[in-house]
Chains A and B, each alone.
Chain A
Amino acid sequence: MNKILISDPTLRDGNHAANHQISVQQIAAYCDGADAAGVPIVEVGHGNGIGASSLQLGESPIPDFDILRTAREHLPHSKLGIHVIPGFATIEKDLKPAIRAGVDVVRVASHCTEADITERHIGFAREAGKTVFGVLMMSHMASKELLAEEAKKMESYGAEGFIFMDSSGHFLPDDVTERVKTLLDVLEIPVGFHAHNNLGMAIANSIAAAKAGATMLDGTARGFGAGSGNAQLEVLVAVLERLGFKTGIDLYKLLDLSDLADRELLKEIPTIRSVSVVSGLAGVFSGFTKHVYRIAKQYEVDPRDVFFELGKRGVVAGQEDLIIEVASDLARKAKASS
């Protein structure tokens, strides 16, 4: 009863925190541990998914194919998942090779209001016989009704499950509860949730999702992920078990895995830094954090101002180039008024 399917994107969302520099050795070591702990799905790749290595978002030193092949070799039992955003990844250049590399689960994602760009990618992965989930990112930017409408499109394209992401860590538990309920009313496929921790709500929000009927949750070792990180996987699994949900994951081995991640993967454990609070409030994509720090420093502006201004302009994930525009604007205005 009450089974929750856990996806672990430590090696994907965590790449945001590692400037997309996670190495082949780290992937191998983490995958060994995750497989041993019985983590059902392990997601790997660039922070914004396959085909996203770029100057815009940060370059990955390793080609997608090598990342996937390494993970595949070290995941004899767990399923191998990828994140795919149309507009970055194309079927020909990115999705086909990924499937050749042995991917099991394809999660096709778009901004929360733009589900219709995922039709062909979902269709292709489905046709290739892979498990396909639809993902809507930045879901705080759509009302629950609109989110459900867009999710329904993904279901019609062939998605077998639907996950909504709180990419900015903006939600509070009630927001998640009402969205899950609306989604379950409308969809015939299972619903999942992916949390970020900007406002310290990642675990609480994930639990709210599960209680409202979501059956898929994402969590990462030590919360390793963009901005102030994701729902901390070992905590999430422990709390779920205590509440009577089953994950099929061996808790001791999961704790070992998390310790390994602590030693092998991370330079710093994600914490809620001041700027992350602002990013969560402003509703800006968590993946922007490192870029905002770097660019704010170069232009000598307050990163918090940059975040609020980006929020005002309604930027979506993938528009990292606007950080420079906003920072240079702020710098110009500061100069003019001084």
Chain B
Amino acid sequence: MKKLKVAIIGSGNIGTDLLIKVMRSPHLECGAFIGRNLSSPGMAKATAMGMNVSSESISYIESNPDCCELVFDATSAVDHQRHAPILRKLGKISIDLTPAQVGQMCVPAVNMRECLSEDNVNMVTCGGQASIPVAYALAQSHSGIDYIEVVSSIASRSAGPATRRNLDEYIHTTENGLRKFSGCRRTKAILNLNPAQPCVNMQTTVMAKVSNPKLDEFTKIFQKIAQTIREYVPGYETVVPPTIENNRIFTMVRVRGLGDYLPAYAGNLDIINCAAIAMAEEYAKNRRPALTEAGAPK
């Protein structure tokens, strides 16, 4: 099968890590690696890898629409707000790794098929990617959930200046995602930064209050969905399996990253990239002729 051509906008750490994942994918190929500064380390790496690089940002895709069918946007929320309508007009699928929330929220283990009909999907947050499948499993095994809470701890070094400035947006978006996928109306997200050396891996705990806990059923569904996640995030591991403690259902997972370009402890960044790649591969596998035709004329 012919590989799906993708472009990556944003040549920072996230974009560069995505590039390495794209290179490894049997379903994707990189048509363009796009940023603003040709001398950035990401660009240097892409150039060294023989990639087609550009510093013209979105206008490169506008003037070279053949370079890709799908675009990973790893810039910023403000930039993606601007990019989204342009990409839609060009008939490109957008996978949005910024907090812009233009399109449907996408958590591959939960709603990958559903997202295939969308032309813009948003990868929620790191805590969301780790916890929403657990919340979804809780919802599948219980008729109603009173309250869901998600606590993530990440290595201080994995939180860059943008993350630190936008903790509130992280919390609101994660809570939104939890509500959407679990149907539970009361949700809470908490984020801790841990400065311990050596750096800690990302850990996420999902706690829930339900009137009538069905631990066995939940455990079964959780294990299945965790297996699905491991297909695209190999380092997704259960630390404390579903347990009842102090009248709450408690489940804890750890995410060790692949360490492609980002450090391996930054499972929080890796899980979003892995999810984005999984979604892009799904688009590649399910390409219909219509999808290609809607793109630039060949």
Contact = CB atoms under 8 A, between A and B. Distances in A.
Please determine if A and B sit in direct contact within the complex, based on CB atoms under 8 angstroms apart.
yes
B167 to A, nearest CB: 5
Interface stretch (A197-205, A265-273, A312-320): A312-320
B156 A114 contact: yes
Nearest to B248: A55
Interface residues of A, number: 32
Nearest to A116: B164
Interface stretch (B69-77, B78-86, B133-141, B192-200): B192-200
Interface in B244-263: 245-246, 248, 250, 252
Nearest to B241: A328
A325 B246 contact: no
A20 to B, nearest CB: 13
A294 B207 contact: no
Nearest to B170: A87
Interface residues of B, number: 35
A86 interface: yes
Contact of A55 (B149, B167, B194, B195): B149
Most buried by B among A86, A88, A117, A321: A321
Nearest to A328: B240
* Majority secondary structure of chain B interface residues (helix, strand, loop or mixed): strand
B192 A117 contact: no
B156 A321 contact: no
Contacts of A56: 149, 151, 190, 205, 207
Contact of A90 (B151, B172, B208): B172
Given A54-B149, A55-B149, A321 B191 contact: no
Interface string B179-207: 00000000010111111110010010101
A90 B147 CA distance: 19
Given A91-B168, A92-B168, A117 B193 contact: yes
Interface string A312-338: 011110110110110010000000000
14 contacts: A56-B205, A87-B167, A120-B168, A298-B245, A313-B196, A313-B200, A314-B196, A314-B197, A319-B192, A319-B194, A321-B151, A324-B245, A324-B250, A328-B240
Interface of A: 54-56, 86-88, 90-93, 111, 113-114, 116-117, 119-120, 141, 294-295, 298, 313-316, 318-319, 321-322, 324-325, 328
